Structures are given as structure tokens and as C-alpha cells.
Amino acid sequence: MIGQLRRLWPEPGPLLRFAVLQALLAVLQGLLLGLLFPVLRAVLRPEPDFAAAMPWLLAGAAGVLLHWALSVVATPVGFAASGELGVQLRLRLMGQLTTLPLGWFTAEAKGTFARTVTSAATAISRLCVVVGGPVITCTLVPLTVTAVTFAVDWRLGLVLLATLPPAVLLMRRCRRMTALASADMEEAANEIAARAIEYGQAQPVLRAAGQAGTGTRQLSAALAEHHRRYARTLNASLLPTLSVTAVVALGFVAVLALGVHFLLAGSLAVPDTVALLVLAVRFLEPLGALAGHAHGLGALDYGLDRVARVLRTPPLPAATDPVPRPAHSGIDLVDVRLEYLPGRPALAGVNLHCPPGSTTALVGPSGSGKTTVIRLIARFLDTTEGVVLVGGQDVRDYDHEQLLGEIAIVFQEVYLFDTTIEDNLRLARPEATEAELAEAARAARLDEVVERLPEGWRTRVGEGGAQLSGGERQRVAIARAFLKQAPIVLIDEAASALDAENEQAISQAIAALAADPRRTVLVIAHRPTTLAAADQVVALEAGRVVETGTPAELLRTQGAFARIHRQYEQARGWRISAREQEGAPR
């Protein structure tokens, strides 16, 4: 654990200072107990000699004052160490986040990362002080007491020493079981959290069904499972904990019995016997407390492992000698294969050529690999086989940040920060002038949205852009692409699932983007207005290119593109008849 902490925390100064202070306090406790021997030898004699005891009593008083002073210093040092550790862990985790392939960011991975940054980092920083300090004390006090006992009577020293190995082994077992139980309980707690969120979001449905008070069957099952695992954890840890208590009790009984035996045999004086019994209590009491802290150490092990797993995630490989910016905006995929899971290719043998200044539309059914193509071009992930070329150069040869500087991306799901529309737009180019902002807004038809908002550009959009509709968020995203003025634009289903007004506005904005001969545009689309602006259409099915050509050419072939186009037109023509609207029988 100490080695793992050092790897996770490259600047361990505050934690090291806290550990040293705790160690000094623990050793000082043991040494103060050792003063009982000269004091009791001076006062428990036929003629007590208080003068002989006085120097030891003064030394004890000085030791108590020193212990108090160190305790006063150690408390704020511990708080500072806990806070500093939490900050450094979060900074390391956030720094690691910026190096990971963007394809790593699945919903599950993002949820795990969020819990690691919040709960795990907080637990580690707290447990290192709240548990780490007492563990140091409960370890060093018995060791110091054992050393003092050896100095007085080696036989009782051996008895105390013999108690340590079984107690330590049993506590290690407690610690391992707690780490496993923490992982088990975390899984159950995550399920409860997910079901609780679902319960809140589904209130309209539950109330309509008359089940708002009872909740969902899944939530009840998650709560029951959490209770079952908690009970299983308690039962599993009961035997090791009781075993440690038994070892401690047996050790005390052995010291008591041998001490009395040596006293009656005359090989141990009364003052030494009394002092040794007091020391035996102070030896065994911390060991018993340490059994309880073993569970905290197990939780700390689990938290450290969670953080380490994130930090061990391989980052996106960086070019050792990155080439300059692309020579042109052309895009090529050459024999590209990509597997998210071994043996299950998302793309297989894909070849694609997008000349500089051209517009290419990707079409195909859901799961055909369209979004994967866009991710590869932006190098959110790397190919399993084949190469992706931008400007005639392998994307892996560029500095990734510089490559993304040449690309504007409009995602299907647009995320906006809880700030103003202007701030969200300036993410693309913070130094843009007011005139450039206005021009980008006009081109993306965002100006219509801004004009009808109560505070115009200063309107806050809410968390994730919740105050705007899906089409309005898409207009912000397209305006970013205009404002960035990148030579390559990648658009992922920007007009999907929108109303007719927003669909038309966004299709026109995409057409305006594609009209600039300096831009290479790759768009995933099925709308005729968007496809009409394409120089070529590439149809994908099951991760393979099945057709390439102009929209007019592919419509005449009656192939995959024609079939998709026909299905879309049929869907657009669906209507509810007047008789159906009135509820008349058909």
C-alpha cells in the first residue's frame, strides 16, 4: 500500500510529515509506559524512596507535555495532508483524462471515472489520515512496549512477541476481505443509484400507473440485493475479527499467568510484575483496535486500486516527432479495420477517398460503422489494421491537439456548458470578434434563436443546454464549426430526430458549410436536402463500403443507397388519416 501511495502521490511531503509525527507519538507512548518500572521500583519497596522517583516523574511530565505538543501539531498537519492528497489525486486523474483515447469515453467509463474522482479520491484522502494515523499508533505502541518488556524480562517479551504474527495474519485476512467486499458493495450501490435516478425520471409514468409510492420492481430488487450483500459482508468478516480478539485475549491471559508464576517463583519482583501487567494491557489493547482498522485499510486498498486502474489505462500513443499541420484537407482511409471487441469488426477493409474541398455523405443503417469512420478521422481511437490519412499523412504522425485544431466536429448529441450562448460559441475560437460571432450565427441560422431569447447572447443555456431544444443546440454546434474556420468538418447525424423547421434550418447550414471550396466536409446524413450538397455518397453496410458515387448515380443503380432513400421518403410520407384522427373504425 505504501508503494502504491508513493506512485499515486509523487509529492508525499505532507503525508510523510503526518506519518512521522504519528510515529513519534506512538513511540513516545511506549517509552512513557516504560517509566513505570523505575517509578514503581522506587515507591513499591519496604521504605518508599520518593526522591528517587522524582526525576522519573519529571521526565514523565515532560514526556506528556511533549506528547500534547506533538498532538497539537499533528492534527492540522493531518488535515492538510488529507486535503493535499485529495487535490493531487484529482489533478492526476484529470490529467490522465486528457491523454485517453476519446473512444474510451463510453457511458460506463464516464460514470466510473466520475465516481473515482469524487468518492474514491475523497475516501483515499480521508482514510489515509483517519485510518492511517491510528494504524501507525496501533502498530508502533505494541512494538515499543515489546522492546521495553524485553529490556526488563525477556521471557514475557517473547510471549508478547509471539502474539504478533497470528494477529497480523488474521488482520491481513480482514483487510483482503474488506477490499473484496468494498468492490462488491460498490457494484450494488451503483445499481441502487442508477435505479434511484430512473425512479425519479419515471415519476410521470409511475404516477399514471398508480405505482409512485411503491417504486419499480428493479429498484426494490436493487435494494434487496444491496442488503443481501451487506449481510454477507458482515458474516464473512465476523470470524477473522473474532479470531483477532481471541488471539489478543489469549495473549493477555498468558502474560498474566506467567507474570504471576514468575512472581510466586521469586524470579520477578512485585514492582516489575505490576508494571509488566500494565504494559501488557497497553500492548494488547492497540492490537484489538487494529482489527477494527483492518476494515478501513481494506476500503483504502479498494480505493487505491480504483484510482490506479484509471491511471493504468493506456493513453493515446503520441508521435515521437510529430509532423507539421496537414498539407491539405484531403481524407483517405486505406484498408481500415477496427475491432471494438476481438473477432467482431466494426469496420472491415474500408477504403474511402475524400478530395480536398469536397463534400462526402456517409449513409447506411444503424450500426454500419458511420460514426466509427468519423471517430477514426479525428483520431478518437486508432485502427486495428490499415491507416487513416489526413493531408496525405497518417493521423498517428500528428500531434493530436494540433490535428484536432484542423477539424471541426458537429456531434449528434450536443453538450453545452451551463453558461451563455456566447461563451459556448467562443469555445471554438475565444479570440473571435463580435462581427465573426454574428457571421457564424447567421450562417448556422443561430441568429434566429438568439433574437427570440429574452437575454439574447447573454442567455444561459442550462446544464447540458437543457434550456434549448435539440435543434437549437445543433445550431450552436454548427455555428462553432463556422466560427472555428477549420479546413475539415465532420458532422454526425446533425439533423436526426428534429422537427421540420429545425431540420430545414440545419440542412441549409450544412449546405452552407459544404459550399466553401476550402473545406472538406464529411457528413452522416439521410435527408435529401443534405445529400443534394454532396459531391459523393458512400454507403456502408455491416462495416463495409458497398457503394460509392454521386447521389444521382446511386439512385439509378437501385442499390443500398436507393433503398435507404426510398425508405426515408416513405417514412416522411406517413400521415394519420382524418378517420383515424376522429377515432372512427377503419
The per-residue pLDDT for 371 is 87
Structural domains of the chain in order of their starting residue, each with its CATH number: 2-312 (1.20.1560.10), 327-406+486-586 (3.40.50.300), 414-480 (no CATH)
| Main-chain dihedrals φ then ψ at residue 406, nearest 5 degrees | -95, 0
What angle, rounded to 10 degrees, do the helices at 270-312 and 13-34 form? 170
Question: Residue 578's pLDDT is what?
Answer: 46
Instruction: Give the SS3 label for residue 327.
Output: coil
- DSSP assignment of 436-502: HHHHHHHHTT-HHHHHHSTTGGG-B--GGGTTS-HHHHHHHHHHHHHHHT-SEEEEESTTTT--HHH
- 316 in helix, strand or coil? coil
Please enumerate in sequence order all residues whose Cβ is within 8 A of that of 113, keeping only pairs 6 or more positions apart, or say none: 93, 97, 310
**Looking at residue 482, what is its pLDDT?**
85
- For residue 473 the three cell numbers come to 443546440
Q: Tens of pLDDT along 40-67?
A: 888 887 788 888 889 989 998 999 999 9
> What letter represents residue 442's amino acid?
R
d(CA 585, CA 575): 16
pLDDT at 580: 46
SS3 219: helix
* Ranges under pLDDT 70 in the chain: 1-4, 6, 9-10, 103, 107-108, 178-179, 181-187, 189-195, 197-216, 233-241, 493-503, 528-529, 568-586
